[in-house]
Amino acid sequence: MAKQVQQLDRVIIRFAGDSGDGMQLTGDRFTAGTAEFGNDLSTLPNFPAEIRAPQGTLPGVSSFQLHFADHDILTPGDAPNVLVAMNPAALKANLGDLPRGSDIIANTDEFTKRNLQKVGYATNPLEDDSLAEWRVHAVPLTSLTVKALEGFDLSKKDAERSKNMFALGLLSWLYHRPTEHTIKFLENKFAKKPEIAKANIAAFQAGWNYGETTESFSVSYEVKPARLAPGVYRNISGNQALAYGLIAASVQAKLPLFLGSYPITPASDILHELSKHKRFGIRTFQAEDEIAGVGAALGAAFGGALGVTTTSGPGVALKAETVGLAVTTELPLIIVDVQRAGPSTGMPTKTEQTDLLMALFGRNGESPVPVVAPMSPSDCFDAAIEAARIAVKYRTPVMLLSDGYLANGSEPWRLPEVSDLPDISQEFTTAPNGEDGTFLPFKRDTETLARPWAIPGTAGLEHRIGGIEKADGTGNISYDPDNHDLMVRTRAAKIAGIDVPDLVVDDPDGDAKVLVVGWGSTYGPIAAAVRRIRAGGGKVAQVHLRHLNPLPANTGEVLKSYDKVLLPEINLGQLALLLRARYLVDVISYNRVRGLPFKAEELAGVIQDVIDSD
Per-residue pLDDT of 324-351, as tens digits, reads 999 999 999 999 999 999 999 999 999 9
pLDDT in the model for residue 467: 96
Residues 317/294, Cβ–Cβ less than 8 Å: no
- Residue 274's nearest CA partner among 240, 312, 324 is 240
pLDDT at 256 over 90: yes
What pLDDT was estimated at residue 315?
A: 98
Range 249-255 average pLDDT: 98
DSSP string, 78-124: SS-SEEEESSHHHHHHHGGGSPTT-EEEEEGGG--HHHHHHTT-SS-
Q: Per residue, what are the HEC states of 51-66?
A: CCCCCCCHHHEEEEEE
What per-residue confidence (pLDDT) applies to 531? 98
Radius of gyration of the chain (CA): 27
Q: What angle do CA 43, 44, 50 make, to 5 degrees?
A: 140
pLDDT for 2 equals 72
pLDDT in tens, 473-498: 999 999 999 999 999 999 999 999 99
pLDDT at 218: 87
Average pLDDT, the chain: 96
At residue 355, does pLDDT exceed 60?
yes
SS3 content of the chain, % helix, strand, coil (to 5): 40, 20, 40
The reported pLDDT for the residue numbered 50 is: 83
Is residue 51 predicted with pLDDT exceeding 90? no
* Residue 614 pLDDT greater than 80, yes or no: no
| Contact between 351 and 325 (Cβ < 8 Å) | no
pLDDT tens profile 306-322: 999 999 999 999 999 99
- Does position 375 have pLDDT exceeding 60, yes or no? yes
Q: Is the pLDDT of residue 157 over 60?
A: yes
Average pLDDT over residues 382-390: 98
Helix, strand or coil for residue 387? Answer: helix
Decide if pLDDT at 117 tops 90: yes
Report the percent of the chain where pLDDT is more than 70.
Answer: 100
| Residue 1 binned pLDDT confidence (cut-offs 50, 70, 90) | low
Ranges 53-62, 241-250, 490-499: which has the least confidence:
53-62
- Whether the pLDDT of residue 36 is over 60: the answer is yes
How would DSSP label each residue in 112-163?
-HHHHHHTT-SS-TTTSSTTTTSEEEEE-HHHHHHHHTTTSS--HHHHHTTH
pTM above 0.75, yes or no: yes
Contact call for residues 281 and 311 (beta carbons, < 8 A) = no
Q: 158: buried, middle or exposed (CB in 10 Å: 19+, 13-18, 0-12)?
A: middle
Each residue's pLDDT tens digit, 205-228:
999 999 999 988 989 999 999 999
266 cis-preceded (ω within 30 degrees of 0): yes
